[in-house]
Amino acid sequence: MVRLSVILAAGTLVLAAPLADAAPPTARQWLERMTESLATLDYDGLFIHRFSSQSETMRIVHRVEDGRSVERLVSLDGSGREIVRTAEEVHFYMPDRRVVLVEPRTDAGSLLKALPAPGAKLDALYTLELREGHRLLGRDVRVVDVRPRDGYRYGYRLWLDAATAMPLRSEVMDGEARTVEAIHFTKLEVGEGVDRRALQPGVDATGFQWVRAARRPELRVAGAGWMPRRMPPGFRLVASRSQPVPGMPMRMQHLIFSDGFASVSVFIEPAPPKGPAPPESASVGSANAYSTQVQGHVVTAVGEVPAETVREIAISVAPVDAEASPAAAAPVPVDR
Partner 1 sequence: MKTMANFPPSDGSTDGHEPRDGHERQASGVEQSDLELVRRVQRGERGAFDLLVLRYQHKVVKLVARLLRDPAEAEDVAQEAFVKAYRAINSFRGDSAFYTWLYRIAVNTARNTMASRQRRPLDYEADLNESEQSAVESRMRHGDTPEAAALSEEIHRTVNGAIEALPEDLRTAIILREVEGLSYEEIAEAMECPVGTVRSRIFRAREAIDRSLKPLLD
Partner 2 sequence: MTDQIREQMSALLDGELAPGELGLLVRRMERDAELRRAFGNYVLAGESMRAPGGITASPGFATRVSAALDDGEVVPNATPARAPRAAARFKRPLAGVAVAAGAALAAVLLVRPGTDGGSLMVQRAAPPAMAGVPMPGGASPTPAQTQRLVGFLVAHGQYASPIGRRNAWSNALAADPGINVVYEAAEKR
Name the residues that contact partner 1, by CB under 8 A: 1-2, 46, 48, 52-57, 59, 74, 76-80, 95-96, 184, 186, 200, 202-203
**With respect to partner 2, which residue has the nearer C-beta, 18 or 215?**
215
Partner whose binding site includes residue 101, from partner 1, partner 2, none (CB under 5 to 8 Å by kind): partner 2
**Shortest Cβ distance from residue 79 to partner 1 (Å)?**
7
Choose the contact partner of 7 out of partner 1, partner 2, none; CB within 5 to 8 A by kind: none
Which entry of partner 1, partner 2, none binds 213, CB below 5 to 8 A by partner kind? partner 2
- Give the nearer residue to partner 1 in terms of CB position, either 98 or 229: 98
CB of 69 to partner 1, least distance (A): 20
CA separation for the pair 148, 155 (Å, rounded):
6
302: partner contacted, choices partner 2, partner 1, none (Cβ within 5-8 A by kind): partner 2
The enclosing H or E element of 174 equals none
113 CB-near residues (< 8 Å, 6+ apart): none
CB of 142 to partner 2, least distance (A): 16
Bridge-based pairing state of the strands 226-228 and 218-219: unpaired
Distance in Å, CB of 186 to partner 1, minimum:
5
Whichever of 57 and 265 has its CB closer to partner 1, that residue is: 57
Q: What is the number of alpha carbons within 13 Å of residue 177 lying toward its C-beta? A: 2
94 is in the binding site of which of partner 2, partner 1, none (Cβ under 5 to 8 A by kind)? partner 2
Cα–Cα distance for residue pair 207/121, rounded to 1 Å: 50
Rg (CA), the chain: 21
Residue 63 vs 85, nearer CB to partner 2: 85
Among partner 2, partner 1, none, what does residue 60 contact (CB within 5–8 Å per kind)? partner 2
Q: Shortest Cβ distance from residue 155 to partner 2 (Å)?
A: 13
Question: Residues 260, 294: contact at Cβ < 8 Å?
Answer: no
Pairing of the two strands 263-270 and 226-228: unpaired
Q: What minimum distance in Å lies between the beta carbon of 150 and partner 1?
A: 28
Q: From residue 77, give the alpha-carbon distance in Å to each of 55, 80, 81, 82, 83.
A: 9, 7, 9, 11, 14
Nearest approach, Cβ of residue 74 and partner 2 (Å):
8
Which residues, including other chains, have CB under 8 Å from residue 82's CB and lie 6 or more apart?
72, 73, 74, 75, 92, 93, 201, 202, 203
| Beta bridge partners of residue 122, listed in sequence order | none
φ, ψ for residue 40, nearest 5 deg: -110, -15
Which residue, 6 or 287, has its beta carbon nearer to partner 2?
Answer: 287
Output the CA torsion sign for 185, 89, 246, 295: positive
Q: Which is nearer to partner 1, 204 or 321 (CB)?
A: 204
Of residues 97 and 215, the one with the C-beta less far from partner 1: 97
